[in-house]
Amino acid sequence: MSATSHPDPDPDRLPKPGATGATDPSHGPAADDRLLRLVTPDRAAELTTASLGWPSLTLTPVQLAELELLLVGAFGPNPGYPAAQELAGVPVPILAVPAADAEPLAAGDTVALRDPEGVMIAALHVRTLLPAPAGSTVRLVGTLDGVRLPHHPDHPALRLTPDQLRAELRARGWTGPQVGAGAAWAVWADGLLHTADVGRIRALTRQGKRCVVLAPVGGADPADAGHHLRVRCLQAALDAVDAPLRPSEATLASEAVASDAIAAGAAGRRHEPGPDPYRRPGTGDHPPRHRSLLVLVPAVPSALLATPREPGMSATVLPPAGGTRHPLAPGPAGFEPAGFEPSGLEPSGFEPSGLEPAALSSAGPAPAGVAPAAIPLEPDGGAAGATPSANADAEVLARLTAQRAHLASSYGLSGSLIGPAIGAPGRQELASLLDAGGPIPAELTPPAVAAELARAIPPRSQRGLTIFFTGLSGSGKSTLAGLLVCRLLEQGGRRITLLDGDVVRAHLSQGLGFSRADRDLNVRRIGFVAAQVAGAGGTAVCAPIAPYARVRTQVREMVQAAGGGFVLVHVSTPLEVCEARDRKGLYAKARAGVIPAFTGVSDPYEQPTDADVTVDTAQLSGDEAVDRILDHLRVAGWLTPA
């Protein structure tokens, strides 16, 4: 999407990240790599003891990732949560808490910042609290004492701090005396790397550059299969970088060279001829396994940079950002912004960077926020597929670009490619191919990446599924669900779990009533079980009233996040018909006021606007209604044709 080189910082004002003295990074291990902002073990023990008397803040996964970025020095050698949200054009992490939770805090307090398991990561010495204009959150501003880095059980070999990456670059000889001459570039991979991206990396290596693929994984859940799938796919793509170039790739690679040349022109520098890019590893003096390197960084991935959203979008070349300027350079003495506005780094649907209020607790873990979707493909759309307006996108992109360019510079890299390459497939394009179980052409994604995706995401006909009926009492949900289950079992091929409304209430939701809160809890429980069933490859058929749209949407998202498909069936039988049937006599009791809050009579039913199938049993027989549902399942690929 954009290519930037990192010009030298203004030496009078802003130190290059990590630099504490003038050194040539190509000259062996240096004393200048001291970005890590952790206190000594003795001081950490002192802080841990003292923290027993402090208030605690349990950070969300995203806040934890942003704190990690601060502690590894990605925003400069003297981090903290500054009063300004953006310094030298680079957005910096902020820490926001609900206003009510911040009430007991005052300037001068120290707060223990903890991970979701209650382990203290840092001590925050609060300098000031800045109320948000909306009044719902408060920003904590202050300095940090880092106690330890957050623990990551996954992929330890791929997680390098800026210091460690700089050392690795030196060890590989991937540093150069000046920008552009053999120095390593960052290729940001917010989603996957496809054939066009591989071509772009090869184009860079043809220019003599080495590439470090920086994969933002901030907030990823190590127990999330999608996160691991993404990393496996990225590794497979790097293998493809070393494979011989196919003719179909050559076009994409030459486009990438042209695009990069524009960026290089904007940066005011010339490309230098590079070594033979097709030399197989192992023939050089210091043969690395790959011509490029994958590093997982605790930046928060952005949907905007994960996949092209429309043809041509990824051709945009932005001018170089002033990303090497030190974002934490002190502003005018006493400067405090008047208020705080959202940093706007993230599009809707992804968790806002640093904006989600943390939960303040005196001890122990608190509920963590939801981490950004790590599953690279959500075939039916969903949170990660949300598309904000074009203007908002442009603003967010500019801020992201500035931040990413700065981060790459912090990691010792001399330029950045940000966003997918021209020709990279969109999420929907890949999802459709995977849904159908068809081959993914090598022109779109390297075969090894396609194989990883296909292994993890089976075609719809073999994928877990939830069929979720909603409708008024007496509309026919149980009858149709029962009939549908029979038909599916007759056909074979799917393992089915029936979660009927009445049965669930007798077991899973025993004791719950019909208040909105109880109904929501009941439906969420059904959704939870359905997600487990579908995630394990089974088929859940659910038939509650589920009168509220919000919870129905949550259930859809839960099931899809578990890797299953979701089909919403609205049984739209009119109230008068349901009431006339009154099989259980409940409508009569509701009209008489004996049963309070009865759906359709004295309690709301929100008509679905997102139903995949709608059937009215006043118009259709049970068999006809089920035929319609089966037709939909076949056309959508959830069932193989009979």
Ligand X SMILES: Nc1ncnc2c1ncn2[C@@H]1O[C@H](COP(=O)(O)OP(=O)(O)O)[C@@H](O)[C@H]1O
Ligand Y SMILES: Nc1ncnc2c1ncn2[C@@H]1O[C@H](COP(=O)(O)OS(=O)(=O)O)[C@@H](OP(=O)(O)O)[C@H]1O
Q: Which residues bind ligand X (CB under 6 A)?
A: 471, 473-480, 543, 581, 583, 617, 620-622, 625
Q: Indicate which of ligand Y, ligand X, none lies near residue 476 (CB less than 5 to 8 Å, by partner kind).
A: ligand X
272 binds, among ligand Y, ligand X, none (CB under 5 to 8 A by kind): none
- 242: Cα within 13 Å, side-chain hemisphere: 15
Torsional sign, CA 522, 380, 295, 451:
positive
CB of 581 to ligand X, least distance (A): 5
Cβ proximity to ligand Y: between 399 and 505 the closer is 505
Which option in ligand X, ligand Y, none does residue 597 bind, with CB closer than 5 to 8 A by kind?
A: ligand Y
Residue type, 329: A
Closer to ligand Y by CB, 522 or 560: give it. 522
Interacting residues toward ligand Y by CB under 6 A: 473-474, 478, 501-502, 505, 514, 519, 522-523, 544-547, 584, 586, 595, 597-599, 603
Is 58 or 478 the residue whose CB approaches ligand X more closely? Answer: 478
Tokens 């382990």 locate to 119
Least distance in angstroms from the C-beta of 555 to ligand Y: 11
Residue 151 binding target from ligand X, ligand Y, none, CB below 5 to 8 Å by type: none
Q: What is the dihedral of CA 492, 495, 501, 506, to 10 degrees?
A: 130
What, of ligand X, ligand Y, none, does residue 584 touch, CB below 5 to 8 Å by kind? Answer: ligand Y
Q: Do residues 383 and 373 touch, judged by C-beta distance below 8 A?
A: yes
Q: Which is nearer to ligand Y, 185 or 587 (CB)?
A: 587
Nearer to ligand X, 609 or 621 (CB): 621
CA dist 615 and 632 (Å) reads: 12
CA distances from 431 to 426, 460, 527 (A): 9, 10, 23
How crowded is residue 57: how many other Cβ atoms within 10 Å of its Cβ? 24
We find the least distance from the C-beta atom of residue 306 to ligand X, in angstroms, to be 41
Residue 479 C-beta: closest distance to ligand X, Å: 3
Q: Kindly state the tokens that stand for 215.
A: 């994969």
Shortest Å, Cβ 502 to ligand Y: 5
Residue 22 Cα distances to 7, 19, 57, 330, angstroms: 16, 7, 39, 21
Nearer to ligand Y, 86 or 603 (CB): 603
Distance in Å, CB of 470 to ligand X, minimum: 9
- With tokens 């949300």, the residue in question is 386
Quick one: what does residue 617 bind among ligand X, ligand Y, none, with the CB cut-off 5 to 8 Å set by partner type?
A: ligand X
Nearest partner of 340 among 554, 99, 596, 598, judged by Cα:
99
- Scan for tokens 């590093």, then name that residue: 295
57, interface contact from ligand Y, ligand X, none, CB < 5-8 Å by kind = none
Q: Which does 49 bind (CB under 5 to 8 A by kind): ligand Y, ligand X, none?
A: none
Minimum gap (Å) between residue 583 Cβ and ligand X: 4
Q: Distance (Å, rounded) from C-alpha 151 to C-alpha 174?
A: 29
Nearest residue by C-beta to ligand X?
A: 476
Q: Based on CB atoms, which residue is closest to ligand Y, 393 or 582?
A: 582
- What is the smallest separation between the CB atom of 626 and ligand X, expressed in angstroms? 9
Select from ligand X, ligand Y, none the partner in contact with residue 514, using the beta carbon and a kind-dependent cut-off of 5 to 8 Å: ligand Y
Contact of residue 621 among ligand Y, ligand X, none (CB under 5-8 Å per partner type)? ligand X
- Is the CB of 303 or the CB of 545 nearer to ligand X? 545
Contact 277, 284 (CB under 8 A): no
Nearer to ligand Y, 451 or 577 (CB): 577
> Could you tell me the two tokens for 250?
């050559």
Distance of CA 345 to the CA centre of its chain: 13
Q: What are the start-end ranges of the H helices in 5-60?
A: 41-50
Phi–psi pair at 205, nearest 5 degrees: -65, -30
- Residue 622 contact partner, candidates ligand X, ligand Y, none, CB within 5 to 8 A by sort of partner: ligand X
Nearest residue by C-beta to ligand Y? Answer: 501
Partner from ligand X, ligand Y, none binding residue 581, C-beta < 5-8 Å depending on class: ligand X
Q: How far is the CB of 546 from ligand Y (least distance, A)?
A: 5
Residue 511 and residue 615 in contact, taking contact as beta carbons nearer than 8 Å: no
Residue 341: Cβ within 10 Å count: 12
Q: Is the dihedral of CA 466, 467, 469, 470 positive or negative?
A: positive
How many residues are recorded in the chain? Answer: 642
Answer yes or no: are the C-beta atoms of 299 and 40 closer than 8 Å.
no
Give the DSSP per-residue string, 583-640.
TTSHHHHHHTTSSSS-BTTTB-----SS-SEEE-TTTS-HHHHHHHHHHHHHHTTSS-
Bridge pairing between strands 56-58 and 359-361: antiparallel
Closer residue to ligand X (CB): 286 or 507:
507
Partner that binds at residue 547, options ligand Y, ligand X, none, CB closer than 5 to 8 Å by kind:
ligand Y
309 vs 317: CA distance, rounded Å: 16
At which residue do the structure tokens 């001829």 appear? 273
Take residue 321 and report the two structure tokens written for it.
């950002």
Least distance between ligand Y and beta carbon 547 (Å): 5
Shortest distance (Å) from residue 406 CB to ligand Y: 49
DSSP states of 473-490: TTSSHHHHHHHHHHHHHH
Q: With CB cut-offs between 5 and 8 Å by kind, which of ligand Y, ligand X, none does residue 425 bind?
A: none
- Are the C-beta atoms of 482 and 498 separated by less than 8 Å? yes
CB of 631 to ligand Y, least distance (A): 25
CB of 522 to ligand Y, least distance (A): 4
Quote the least distance from Cβ 629 to ligand Y, whole Å: 18
